[in-house]
Amino acid sequence: MTDDQRFRLKGRLYPCIVPRENGEVHGKVLVGLTDDELENLDWVEGNEYERVKVEVIRKDNSEKMTVDTYPWINKNDPDIGGDWDFEEWKRVHMKKFIETFKEIMEFKRNPQKGRDDFQYVLREDPGNAPSS
Catalytic residue IDs: 45
For the chain, the three-class secondary structure string (H helix, E strand, C coil) is CCCEEEEEECCECCCEEEECCCCCCCCCCCCCCCHHHHHHHHHHHHHHECCEEEEEECCCCCCEEEEEECEECCCCCCCEEEECCHHHHHHHCHHHHHHHHHHHHHHHHCCCCCHHHHCCCCECCHHHCCCC
